[in-house]
Amino acid sequence: MTGGSETPNEFIDSASSVLLLARSGSNAECEGCTSLLSEHGLRESRAICVTMAESPDSQLSLWQQQLDDEMPEEAVILDAGSQLPAESQAAGSGAFPSLTLETLQSSVEPIDIGLAVARHLGRWEAADGPSVLCLNSLTDLLNEWERDRVISLVTALNRQCSEMGVMCHHHMDPEESTEETIEMFRPLYDVVCEYIPDHGWTITGSPNDDAPTFRDSVAPPGGVAKGNPQEPETIPIPYSFDQVLELISSPRRRCLLYHLKDRTEHTMDLDELVERVYEREKSIPARRTPKSRDEVSVSLAHNHLPRLDDLGILSYDADDNTVEYYPNPALESAMRYVERLELG
């Protein structure tokens, strides 16, 4: 961990993905962004900026002000949210001929952003020099879509950038995000650069640090294919380590998660779920036998299901008494490991 730095780039080294935590529109955010964009020399770089709330012209103006007109060899600004008329976006292109301004459709979905980024990165794959990606911002994405959809987009973008040797950074405003949300996104990145007023930049999770991270932890034995230990699961989990420990601390909640990960159908009635959890608990010799199905039903309906709903693991409709589970390969790999430890 490093504190008090003027800009974060000197501590990034070989990181592929960076979470930039700084108040939106602040000098710190602007300086941090342009510092990361110019980490490997901007004139030789190709840059993509995805902007949700700011106009393309505003983004270009930021680059020109912060980088003394040292622009990338080629740049793309993807407007995924401002929805300004085309004539306002054209203002910046004359000042920078190698700039592409692209406006995504008004009904844009996370997959559209991912596909647009992939298209341009694919076009540059054989080009010389580094490529960089700026996503501004996660805060705006979370205002538009459910958290699990944003996590899916982040995971896909970070994986693609890692595979293609692209350095990416994603903005998030810590003043507009809950601590739970921030902690859920931290493990998805190689490095987190956080600006703390009156202190400066704090850098955590660098690939060069000796401290282990959940993302880089040893894969559970067994792998994904027929229990083959030569094919381990390596999917980063979108929850902090403390949240995972809390998640598996309750024996009943573990039984519930064991059952959910094994289902082929993801929507079920509460009564059916209660029955399955009740039968599972009874079959585990070391467990306290539940007093009744009613006991299981009350604890699921008033404790465990609402808690898992808050985390985005499932959706619980108390009026219809239905549960919809959202498959999560990373969480399921962790649960398979815990199940082996507990049940053999």
Per-residue pLDDT of the chain (344 residues), as tens digits, is 344 444 555 556 668 899 999 999 898 998 888 888 776 666 677 889 999 887 777 777 776 766 665 666 788 889 887 655 544 444 445 556 578 888 887 778 888 999 999 999 998 888 888 899 999 999 999 999 988 888 889 988 988 898 898 999 999 999 999 887 888 888 888 889 999 888 888 888 744 444 333 334 334 444 444 444 444 444 455 556 667 787 888 888 999 999 999 988 999 999 999 999 998 888 876 666 666 888 889 889 998 999 888 888 899 999 999 999 988 777 888 888 888 888 76
Tell me the CA distances in angstroms from 168 to 15, 68, 152, 189, 335, one per residue in order: 9, 22, 16, 10, 30
pLDDT of res. 19: 94
| Distance, CA of 108 to CA of 20 (rounded, Å) | 24
Which pairs with CB-CB distance under 8 Å and at least 24 residues apart come from 140-146?
140/52, 140/53, 140/81, 141/52, 141/110, 142/177, 142/181, 144/52, 144/81, 145/109, 145/110, 146/312
pLDDT at position 230 is 46
How far is the C-alpha of 259 from the C-alpha of 7, rounded, in Å? 47
Interatomic CA distance for residues 8 and 170, integer angstroms? 14
Predicted TM-score of the model (pTM)? 0.59
What letter would DSSP give residue 4? E
pLDDT of residue 70: 66
* DSSP, res 9: G
Helix, strand, coil distribution of the chain in percent, nearest 5? 45, 15, 40
Report the alpha-carbon distance of residue 16 to residue 142 in Å, rounded: 22
What pLDDT sits at residue 300? 92
pLDDT of residue 324: 94
